[in-house]
Amino acid sequence: MLDRLDELTVCNSFACLPDSFYTRLAPRPPGDPRLLHVNRDVAALLGLSPAALDTPEFLDVCAGRAPLPGGQTIATVYSGHQFGVWAGQLGDGRAHLLGEVQGPGGSFELQLKGSGRTPYSRMGDGKAVLRSSVREYLAGEAMAGLGIPTTRALALVVSDDPVYRETVETAAVVTRVSPSFVRFGHFEHWAHSHTEEKILFDYVVDHFYPECREAQGGEPATDEAVVLRFLRTVVRRTAQLMAQWQLAGFCHGVMNTDNMSILGLTIDYGPYGFMDAFQANHICNHTDTGGRYAWNAQPAAANWNLYRLGSALMVLGPDGESLEAQIEPYEADFLAAYHAGITAKLGLGAWREGDEALVNDWWGLLHSQAADFTLSFRRLGGVAESPDAFLDLFSDPVAAQAWLDQYQTRIQGDTRSPAQRRHDMDRANPLYVLRNHLAQQAIEAAGRGDAGEIQRLLDVLRDPYTEQPGYEAYAALPPAWSQEISVSCSS
């Protein structure tokens, strides 16, 4: 473990691309920045010791007051489709890429978010508010704890600087960490240019998808074959990610192509939500009035986005038909991952033909009774020992019992012991998720300068599948006031 930031091994592979890909510029740190919280798990991935996190240099880097030693600070340009409409050029409007750390956990880019205006800010102020920064900080860790691919966060810096949204809030800067922050939108941006698209493509494949270049059947892969394999791999990863989101009751909220990671990670946490009461058409983002990104629309939204990525790859040579052929298996990829996941969550042993009806009835039951997403699955695992705890989640326990009768017939053939099945189900069904009201409590405490609630949430969400004494309140149904939390794009 390194005690000083300047001992890190830092490289700048994205900043080595031609300068059309970004602007070199310094962040604009907020006034009087304070380090509210540091995530030691992520620090360990980078190889930073607790002592390193205590230094003034660490605060300076995370506040945007000093560059990462050895790093070259840039803001990158990308474009994208927002809510189904081509939005043209976007880019890092309030983010600064600091460099890429080679740590014991792998290679990670460090990026500040909320660190001031850039040439890509358009009408924005380049700032992020404390509320959305706490939510982003927690969400990456909650997803990582669930085993869902995600960007993560290293540090949360706060300031008293006012930021004007619907009301006056205060500023914060999150240091985000990811192997790469490249989005579908980076490819869309360069799709009209035959030179830069190839440079971006080679960069992404060389760094993150080298297997796409491997020879097959003794023949070196042609340039076109590499493009097709790359797209196929991104399709597979995206389908896998969507299955994981659906099975966690996670809604992203703004699945625009500029918020789709080329690595298949969850990226850009804004108006996201983990569902409490299950509604298949739940919309977590109040700004999304049409429900384009509702929970049950997410897999199709990702599919649509993959077609946008596919079109952006046409300039690299392959024809539309060959590219489409890489995207067509998306539904099958998604269903394979989804069936495997729901089989584990319901403790079915293995997916069988006739399970579709049982699973559809399950979703129908949860939806019609607005039952709690997380606890319904979790308590189903313990239904043999505590049937009432399960049935209590439903306003009409008779309907729940009727489904349970079908279910119990189905699992009779399971060769596992009931104890083993329960154990396996508990590994697939978290007890704790980052419910909106839990994030809200952490935000309110953070506003008073108290990071204790953030730490407690990180502690419990690190292993959300294991019951932890003292954390009963974190596994409880949401209080009535949580319905009043309104989450929008405003951040």
Q: Active-site residue numbers?
A: 258
Q: Report whether 362 contacts 406 (CB < 8 A).
A: no
**Non-local CB neighbours of 256 within 8 Å, separated by 6+ positions:** 80, 81, 82, 83, 87, 185, 305
Q: Point out the residue whose Cβ comes nearest to Mg ion.
A: 268
Q: Which stretch binds ligand AMP (CB under 6 A): 56-64, 125-133, 333-341, 410-418?
A: 125-133
Amino acid letter at 314?
A: M
- 94 contacts ligand AMP (rule: CB under 6 A): yes
Minimum Å gap between C-beta 343 and ligand AMP is: 34
Applying CB under 5 A, which of residues 72, 259, 303, 436 lies at the interface with Mg ion?
259
Q: Which of 270, 273, 310, 341 is the binder for ligand AMP (CB under 6 A)? A: 270
What is the nearest approach in angstroms of Mg ion to the Cβ of residue 176? Answer: 11
Least distance in angstroms from the C-beta of 489 to ligand AMP: 6
- As a whole number of Å, the end-to-end CA separation of the chain is 35
Distance CA 354, CA 456 (A): 42
Of 84-92, 324-332, 378-386, 446-454: span binding ligand AMP (CB under 6 A): 84-92
Task: Figure out which of the listed residues 100, 136, 141, 268 binds ligand AMP, where binding follows CB under 6 A.
Answer: 268
Q: Does 126 bind ligand AMP (CB under 6 A)?
A: yes
Residue 268 binds to Mg ion (criterion: CB under 5 A)? yes
Residue closer to ligand AMP by CB (options 291, 452) is: 291
Q: Does 125 bind ligand AMP (CB under 6 A)?
A: yes
Per CB under 6 A, 254 contacts ligand AMP: yes
Tell me how far, at minimum, the Cβ of 122 lies from Mg ion, in Å.
12
- Pick the closer one to Mg ion by CB: 238 or 259: 259
> Considering CB distances under 5 to 8 angstroms, the limit depending on partner class, which of Mg ion, ligand AMP, none binds residue 422?
none
Nearer to ligand AMP, 156 or 393 (CB): 156
Q: Which two tokens stand for residue 398?
A: 């008779």
**Three-state SS string across the chain, please?**
CECCHHHCEEECCHHHCCHHHEEECCCCCCCCCEEEEECHHHHHHHCECHHHHCCHHHHHHHHCCCCCCCCCCEEECCEEEECCEEEEECCCCCEEEEEEEEECCEEEEEEEECCCCCCCCCCCCCCEEHHHHHHHHHHHHHHHHHCCCECEEEEEEEEEEEEECCCEEEEEEEEEEECCCCEHHHHHHHCCCCCHHHHHHHHHHHHHCHHHHCCECCECCCHHHHHHHHHHHHHHHHHHHHHHHHHHCEECCCCCHHHCECCCCECCCCCCEECCECCCCCCCCCCCCCCCCCHHHHHHHHHHHHHHHHHHCHHHCCCHHHHHHHHCCHHHHHHHHHHHHHHHHHCCCCCCCCHHHHHHHHHHHHHHCCCEHHHHHHHHHCCCCCHHHHHCCCCCHHHHHHHHHHHHHHHCCCCCCHHHHHHHHHHHCCCCCCCHHHHHHHHHHHHCCCCHHHHHHHHHHCCCCCCCCCCHHHHCCCCHHHHHCCCCCCC
Q: Which does 90 bind (CB under 5 to 8 A by kind): ligand AMP, Mg ion, none?
A: ligand AMP
> Among residues 286 and 423, whose Cβ is nearest to ligand AMP?
286
x/- track of binding to Mg ion for residues 436-455 (CB under 5 A): --------------------
Residue 4 or 117 having the CB closest to ligand AMP: 117
Instruction: Select the binding partner of residue 124 from ligand AMP, Mg ion, none (C-beta < 5 to 8 A, by kind).
Output: ligand AMP
Cβ of residue 103: shortest distance to Mg ion, in angstroms? 25
176 binds, among ligand AMP, Mg ion, none (CB under 5 to 8 A by kind): none
Give me the phi and psi of 402, to 5 degrees please.
Answer: -65, -40
Please give the single-letter amino acid code of residue 251.
C
Residue 270 partner contact from ligand AMP, Mg ion, none using kind-dependent CB cut-offs of 5 to 8 Å:
ligand AMP
Question: By C-beta, is 118 or 326 nearer to ligand AMP?
Answer: 118
Single residue of 121, 279, 455, 482 touching ligand AMP by CB under 6 A: 121
The listed partner (Mg ion, ligand AMP, none) that binds 131, CB under 5 to 8 Å by sort, is none
Considering the complex, what minimum distance in angstroms separates the CB of residue 91 from ligand AMP? Answer: 5
**Residue 186 or 345: which CB sits closer to ligand AMP?**
186
CB of 490 to ligand AMP, least distance (A): 9
Count other C-beta atoms under 10 Å from residue 214's C-beta. Answer: 10
Compare residues 5 and 267 and give the one whose CB is closer to ligand AMP: 267
Tokens of 486: 């309104």
> 125 contacts which partner out of Mg ion, ligand AMP, none, CB within 5 to 8 A by kind?
ligand AMP
**How many residues contact ligand AMP, by CB under 6 A?**
17
Which residues in this chain contact Mg ion in the complex, by CB under 5 A? 259, 268
For ligand AMP, the binding residues (CB under 6 A) are 90-94, 120-121, 124-127, 254, 256, 258-259, 268, 270
